[in-house]
């Protein structure tokens, strides 16, 4: 085991994979000379040279489409989005080309491509730079969507995503880049589609992905002091989703809270609710509650931003409510 940051774990994953396989290239804005907008690609240009670490102009649609085309004929591109907000400009190529090529060619062209970069809110980045857009990608058959929360998962899942022969949307978090954690030494791969119980418990299941995992674990630690044992489950991969692990937890605890940073309407958590009501209807002792981002564009002001994001107290309140205990000002949404 080594202790490292989430950022270093991602860097190691790319470095190891690029050493292993010469068909892998990294392209995006500022990934080379500048060492990455968030320094995730630090040192890669030095090691692999400008043929494999490609600085692009600010042209998300263009370089993402270029990556998809290259992936049709043997290159395995990693396309970095400076942040996922800008992936909206590349949505046509991700959704209309990458996700559909295999199907509409009758199985002839697979797209081994990773589109990665940070999603979600940072600190006071305001409306256009703070979005959690995973639900947009999760909706699309043909894509895989991965959202690691810990350094170990960041490394293991990125390596697996790079080896996957399908287009993978890999959403990191700016706020997580500096977090530290243990990462197993040596070749470390984490399978896609396998959730992880990050904290076992018997009373309530809290499902949380990406940086909401940290909020959930924080709430769980508090609640443990009150004698409430929360089981925290991180799906890690949103598509394919490990339904079985979610259901097993629900069948044990009979109560569920979902924490997600994205907007409430049609969000990722709504999908969890659907699979749980379908697969564990008779096990539920309370309606499922969701703690989500507020249903508004992200405000700039510190206090307002804080109100817009799921926080520990709101998770705790939701847990009290699914236990039918008196929480303070408990609310499901927003």
Query: Residues interacting with another protein, by CB under 8 A?
Result: 25, 32-33, 45, 50-51, 54-57, 59, 61-75, 92-93, 96-97, 101-110, 141-142, 144, 165-166
3-class secondary-structure state, position 197: strand
Active-site residue, from 129, 139, 229, 333 = 129
| Dist CA 46 CA 35 (whole Å) | 10
Residue with tokens 């659907």: 274
Shortest CB 164 distance to another protein, Å: 9
Give the residue with the Cβ less far from another protein, 58 or 301.
58
Q: How far is the CB of 192 from another protein (least distance, A)?
A: 10
Q: Give the residue with the Cβ less far from another protein, 91 or 323.
A: 91
Using the CB atoms, write b or e for 193-212: b if 16+ within 10 Å: bebbebbebebbbbbbbbbb
Which of residues 32 and 151 has its CB atom nearest to another protein in the complex? Answer: 32
Given a contact cutoff of 8 angstroms between Cβ atoms, the answer to whether 301 and 250 are in contact is no
Return the sign of the alpha-carbon dihedral for residues 63, 67, 69, 70: positive
DSSP symbols for 25-89: EEEETTSSTT--TTSTTTTHHHHH-TTTEEE--S-HHHHHHHHHHHHHTT-EEEEE-SSGGGGGG
Question: At closest approach, how far in Å is the CB of 245 from another protein?
Answer: 20
Beta-carbon contacts of residue 100 (< 8 Å; ≥ 6 apart): 142
Q: Please, what is the minimum distance in Å from the beta carbon of residue 270 to another protein? A: 22
- Choose between 54 and 207: whose C-beta lies nearer to another protein: 54
Question: Active site includes 129?
Answer: yes
Rounded to the nearest whole angstrom, what is the least distance from the CB of residue 80 to another protein in the complex? 15
Q: What's the rounded Cα separation, in Å, for the pair 164 and 110?
A: 10
Q: Which of 8, 60, 80, 305 is catalytic?
A: 60
Considering the complex, state which of residue 50 and residue 178 has its C-beta at the smaller distance from another protein: 50
**Residue 60 a catalytic site member:** yes
Q: How far apart are the first and last CA of the chain?
A: 39
Torsion sign across C-alpha atoms 321, 234, 137, 91 = positive
Contacts of range 304-308, beta carbons closer than 8 Å, 24 or more positions apart = 305/121, 305/123, 305/124, 305/130, 308/121, 308/334
Considering the complex, state which of residue 64 and residue 253 has its C-beta at the smaller distance from another protein.
64
Quick one: tokens of 24?
A: 């892998």
Active site residues: 60, 129
């Amino acid at each position: 085991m080594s202790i490292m940051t989430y950022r270093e774990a991602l860097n190691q994953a790319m470095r190891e994979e690029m050493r292993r396989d010469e068909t892998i290239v990294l392209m995006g804005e500022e990934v080379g000379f500048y060492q990455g907008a968030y320094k995730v690609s630090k040192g890669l240009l030095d090691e692999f040279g400008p043929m494999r670490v490609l600085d692009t102009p600010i042209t998300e649609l263009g370089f993402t489409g270029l990556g998809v085309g290259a992936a049709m004929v043997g290159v395995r591109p990693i396309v970095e989005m400076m942040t996922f907000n800008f992936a909206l400009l590349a949505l046509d190529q991700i959704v209309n080309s990458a996700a559909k090529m295999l199907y509409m060619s009758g199985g002839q062209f697979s797209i081994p491509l990773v589109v990665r970069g940070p999603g979600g809110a940072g600190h006071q980045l305001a409306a256009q730079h703070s979005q959690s857009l995973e639900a947009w990608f999760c909706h699309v058959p043909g894509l895989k969507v991965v959202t690691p929360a810990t350094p170990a998962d960041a490394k293991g899942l990125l390596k697996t995503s790079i080896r996957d022969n399908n287009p993978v949307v890999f959403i990191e978090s700016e706020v997580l880049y500096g977090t530290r954690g243990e990462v197993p030494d040596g070749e470390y791969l984490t399978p896609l589609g396998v959730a992880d119980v990050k904290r076992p418990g018997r009373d309530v299941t809290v499902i949380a992905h990406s940086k909401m995992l940290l909020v959930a674990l924080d709430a769980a630690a508090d609640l443990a002091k009150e004698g409430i044992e929360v089981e925290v489950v991180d799906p890690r991969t949103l598509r394919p989703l490990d339904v079985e692990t979610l259901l097993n937890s629900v069948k044990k605890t009979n109560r569920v809270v979902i924490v997600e940073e994205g907007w409430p309407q049609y969000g990722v958590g709504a999908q969890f609710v659907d699979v749980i009501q379908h697969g564990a209807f008779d096990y539920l002792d309370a309606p499922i509650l969701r703690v989500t981002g507020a249903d508004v564009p992200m405000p700039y002001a510190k206090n307002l931003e804080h109100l817009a994001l799921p926080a520990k107290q709101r998770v705790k309140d939701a847990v009290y409510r699914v236990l039918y205990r008196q929480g303070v000002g408990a609310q499901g949404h927003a």
